[in-house]
Structure 1
Amino acid sequence: MTAACPSGLPASGSVTVTETADGQVATILISRPDKLNALTLEMLAELESHLDELASGAVRVVVVRTAGSKAFCVGADIEAFSRLSATDMWRRWIAEGHRVFDRLARLPQPTVAVVDGLAVGGGLELALACDLRLATPEATFGLPETGLGTIPGWGGTERLTTLVGPARAKELILTRRRADASTALGWGLVNAVAADIDAETDRWVHELLGSAPIAQQVAKQLVDAAAAGAPSAVLEALGSGFTAYTDDFAAGVQAFRTKSRPEFRGR
């Protein structure tokens, strides 16, 4: 499942979405390779618009990719945000980035970031807003903002800490070190490293499509709630009770009894 980079892109970059023929998988492509896929406010607005459409659609899995091989994304366009006043930075740049990345994190569907090259600053924060991260051996990860006299501003301090713990998060943020792909895998920052990233992505997507979509989406919500400190006993009881009345649950039980493959329909 390889997304092609559109030709004739505007200098400001673009965010596009393509879907598989059966409508089960959507690929978000962030394309500004000449600027290492640095993000502008206009690109964030495009991304948000696509996320709103995906959230209400029938797509089962969302893959986030970027154009080129030098960088997944180097984060915010420094030239753009360095021209903002302190109040505009507060009111717009940080607020809008947080809103859009939170929107990505709250998509009901499982999301997969495919990282090739640099994923630094807001680029790492973009990957962190996804549920799963796959990387090439050439991928590197970092949050270098303190070297610019500022801090990670799009959720990196929270999401990275939740994922790898405070000591590792401080290591990347306070020292500006970069973690290579093997280190990121050892820390749990990425789920897999593969030279053939397209084949690896297809494998993960295929496995994700094998689960009942409603149960999968409820489970995602419960894991996110648990990461935020919510107790599981009540939430899992509610989630189990809800999914037990879906057609997918009946299909799953019947397939188990007959030793066949269930056909989930998301209802």
Structure 2
Amino acid sequence: MVDPRIKVDFDGHLAAITVARPERLNALDIDMLKALSAACDEVEANAEIRVAILTGEGKAFSAGGDIKAWGGMTPNEFGHAWVRFGHRVFERLATLRMPLIAAINGHALGGGLELAIAADIRIAERHVKIGLPETGLGMVPGWSGTQRLVRRAGAQVVRRMVLGGEVFSADEAAALGLVDHVVDTGQALAAARDCAARIAARGPAALEVAKLMIATANGEDNGTAVEALGSILVAKTGDLREGLAAFSEKRATKFAGEW
């Protein structure tokens, strides 16, 4: 079922995914998480897409998980239907085959920061505030804030947010490596589109493979990345073509070791 609060737009080689629930600061609920996962499938299925942008509608990027969506859950529901499912969705975003740019047009707190950190490149507007306030509610970050965020920005930065409750400005976040570029208010999406144009001009196969190689070097799901790289390589060989032909023709294979 399509959820209008998650929008997907295509423009040439560019896809834009927009979290569109401005009246709730783009806070996510279960249906939106499902739609976000479906959006990833839709973007990846479009062979023309070489780069994607993730942003929020209105004055926020995302306030994270909607407390009304999970506040009444049992511990079991919270752990599985909410935290683990959300983690899988964010992992889906992080492992898109094409580079993903987060245009952080407003505050990114809690799950909103975890959403942004799934992107390969983050561009934040100067007024933005960034933090992980979960421990103030008696909970912990559950959508990769203590995992992917540590790998990408460093453990000490995460300690300051999670343990110390620090909230950073965009400029502070850039100095700490939480975001890559800071732009004036209202300019994040335009800057992301400029960045996307530069990326889209590069070799799409090289982009996809390089993204996997960097993820492997950073310790991000090494097994998946290695299998993906190996599968892509083998799929382009003459051996696979011969294997498929032999299967179809019901004959013995004649592998030539053609790369």
Question: Which TM-score applies when normalising by structure 2?
Answer: 0.82
Alpha-carbon offset, residue 202 of structure 1: 2.2
Q: CA RMSD in A?
A: 2.2
Structure 2 equivalent of residue 96 of structure 1 = 85
Mapped to 1, the partners of 2:80 and 2:217 lie a distance apart of: 30
Structure 1 equivalent of residue 54 of structure 2 = 64
Structure 1 equivalent of residue 62 of structure 2 = 73
Mapped to 1, the partners of 2:221 and 2:148 lie a distance apart of: 16
> Aligned to 2:16, what secondary structure does the other structure show?
strand
Give the alignment of 1:177-216 within 5 angstroms: 177-195=166-184, 196-216=187-207
Mapped to 1, the partners of 2:107 and 2:190 lie a distance apart of: 20
> Aligned to 2:147, what secondary structure does the other structure show?
helix
Mapped to 2, the partners of 1:207 and 1:61 lie a distance apart of: 10
Contact 1:65–1:115 (Cα < 8 Å) also in 2: yes
Mapped to 1, the partners of 2:164 and 2:81 lie a distance apart of: 28
Contact 2:62–2:107 (Cα < 8 Å) also in 1: yes
* Larger radius of gyration between Structure 1 and Structure 2: 2
Give the alignment of 1:212-251 within 5 angstroms: 212-228=203-219, 242=233
Indicate whether 1:105 and 2:120 are aligned.
Answer: no
Contact 2:102–2:123 (Cα < 8 Å) also in 1: yes
Q: Which runs of 5+ in 1 are unaligned?
A: 1-11, 247-267
Mapped to 2, the partners of 1:13 and 1:181 lie a distance apart of: 29
Alpha-carbon offset, residue 175 of structure 1: 1.5
> Aligned to 1:193, what secondary structure does the other structure show?
strand
Name whichever of 51-60 and 174-183 sits farther off: 51-60
Mapped to 1, the partners of 2:35 and 2:216 lie a distance apart of: 28
Runs of 4+ in 1 over 2 A off after TM superposition: 196-199
Of all paired residues, the percent bearing the same amino acid is 36
Residues 222-258 of structure 1 show CA distances to partners (whole Å, capped at 9, x for unaligned) of 0001110799xxx7xx78x959x89xxxxxxxxxxxx
- In the alignment of these two chains, the number of paired residues is 225
Mapped to 2, the partners of 1:229 and 1:158 lie a distance apart of: 9
Mapped to 1, the partners of 2:209 and 2:88 lie a distance apart of: 22
Which amino acid letter does the alignment assign opposite residue 50 of structure 1?
A: A
Structure 1 equivalent of residue 72 of structure 2 = 83
Contact 1:13–1:37 (Cα < 8 Å) also in 2: no
Question: Which TM-score applies when normalising by structure 1?
Answer: 0.79
